[in-house]
Amino acid sequence: MKNFEDDLVKIIENINDEFLNSVEKDLKTINSSLNIFIFADKSRNIYESSPAHYNKILKENATKTCKHGSEEMIEETNNELKEVSSNFQLATELIS
C-alpha cells in the first residue's frame, strides 16, 4: 500500500507542476501582449483582440439595431435632451 500512496503523491505533484508551468506561461503571454483580453458572453472562454478591432466590433454591435439619422435629426434630438435635462434640473431645484 505504501508504494501505491507514494506513486499517487508523485502523480499529484507532477500534475501540480504542469499546471503551475502552464499558468506561468499564460501570465507571461498576457503581460507581454499589446492586445486586450475579453471574456466571452455565454462561456468561460477568453479571447485576445487588438483594441481597434474590439472597438469596431463593440460599435457595430451597439448600433446594429439603431437607425442612422441625418446630422439635422441628431442635432434636434440633442437639443431636446438639453431642454428636458434642464427642465429636470429646474424641477429638482424647486423640490429641494
Amino acid making up residue 16: N
Residue 49, SS3 per DSSP: strand
Residue pLDDT, tens place only, 21-31: 888 998 998 89
Q: Tell me the residue range of the domain where 47 lies.
A: 2-69
What is the pLDDT averaged over residues 29-48?
89
Q: Which residue has the cell 442635432?
A: 75
Q: Is the pLDDT of residue 32 over 90?
A: yes
- The reply to whether 42 and 89 lie within a common domain is no
Query: Cα separation of 55 and 51, whole Å?
Result: 6
Rounded CA-CA distance 1/63 in Å is 66
One domain for residues 56 and 85: no
pLDDT of residue 19: 85
Question: How many distinct structural domains can be found in the chain?
Answer: 2
Whether this prediction's pTM lies above 0.75 is answered by no
Note whether 65 and 76 are same-domain residues: no
Check whether residue 7 and residue 53 sit in a common domain. Answer: yes
Residue 72 pLDDT > 80: yes
Q: Are 44 and 57 in contact (CB under 8 A)?
A: no
